[in-house]
Structure 1
């Protein structure tokens, strides 16, 4: 049984996003967020419900089956009008976002799409390109959460490169946090959180 007082990475991620949404509401801010890895749309739905009727989610994925599942999930929850899904890699984010868009936050779950071809995975090169492209359009106090999985081939290498990239971000401009379980030996995972000052 999972310890009651230490949240899972998914729980901790949602807590961070709920706190961010509270700030949006206090400032009466219309939130625009990015789901960099739509998958089957679980996070996309979470984000669409979080941004509310005035906000919008832009989602990216390279697998049509996942996007179809995500679209169906959004339509069932009656929030599809608050999301735009792109059949494209997240490295195209700067080209796909409407010109002048400021982003309140972005969420990434690296690795592969559950229930699909495990050979189709996110890669450090495109992940870092996407993250780098988002930084200039991220609003002050905007957040980026990156859930790094290492239990698949290529996962550790991608995670190491993304972590190394995050260490290059200026302390004067960003805060970078990390949450993980140091004693988890199999399928280690990490949460990287970036906040723009």
Structure 2
């Protein structure tokens, strides 16, 4: 059976993340990906997780405490556009994940935006290790979503093929704008 974009994002990350790695959850949301990453990196690894909404931090912190994964995670109540200054420049990253759109069951007016996502991608690519991956799951069925999808697609298509491989994964016969996954891998 074909995997959903979310499930496939985890498959792609599991293939490259090792115990002790440093990774990023650029949009922590309710903490599902943050906890998943924390399990993969283990106690010797580190997860940097970002979100602009206090509710996201509270939900994620609670999930991490309940699962015993809080120690290896640094939560930032700030947007992913601050990755360049929040994560030390010399830090190399194995992987990152984005869920672009809005926080489920919250204010749908608070959305990720193309300019901040582009800033985050620039900062992550500068730190991405060889064979490292950045996965973006783009939810675009809301006001502003199409613009962000267009930016991500354009950004990925312009990456030099000598340095990066880029995959896109989507269901083309489903209604209601199913998410589209992009995976950037540094060669």
Task: Give the TM-score taking structure 2 as reference length.
Answer: 0.97
Displacement after TM superposition at 1:134 (Å): 0.9
Say how many residue pairs are matched.
187
Q: Contact between 2:89 and 2:127, CA under 8 Å: does it hold in 1? A: no
Q: In the alignment, does 2:63 pair up with 1:73?
A: yes
Aligned to 1:194: 184
Aligned to 1:7: 3
Of residues 104, 111, 133, the one that matches 2:101 is 111
Displacement after TM superposition at 1:99 (Å): 4.0
Distance in 2 separating the partners of 1:189 and 1:78: 30
Displacement after TM superposition at 1:120 (Å): 0.1
Question: Mean alpha-carbon deviation: is it higher for 85-94 or for 181-190?
Answer: 181-190
Alpha-carbon displacement from aligned partner over 1:13-60 (angstroms, at most 9, x marks no partner): 111111113xx36xxxx2000000011111100110111111110000
CA-atom RMSD, angstroms?
A: 1.0
Of residues 161, 171, 175, the one that matches 1:185 is 175
Q: Contact between 2:26 and 2:97, CA under 8 Å: does it hold in 1? A: yes
Displacement after TM superposition at 1:98 (Å): 2.7
Q: Which runs of 4+ in 1 moved over 6 A?
A: none
Distance in 2 separating the partners of 1:34 and 1:161: 20
Aligned to 1:57: 47
Aligned to 1:20: 16
Trace 1:111-130 onto structure 2 (pairs within 5 A). 111-130=101-120
Task: Give the TM-score taking structure 1 as reference length.
Answer: 0.92
Where in structure 2 are there 5+ consecutive unaligned residues? none
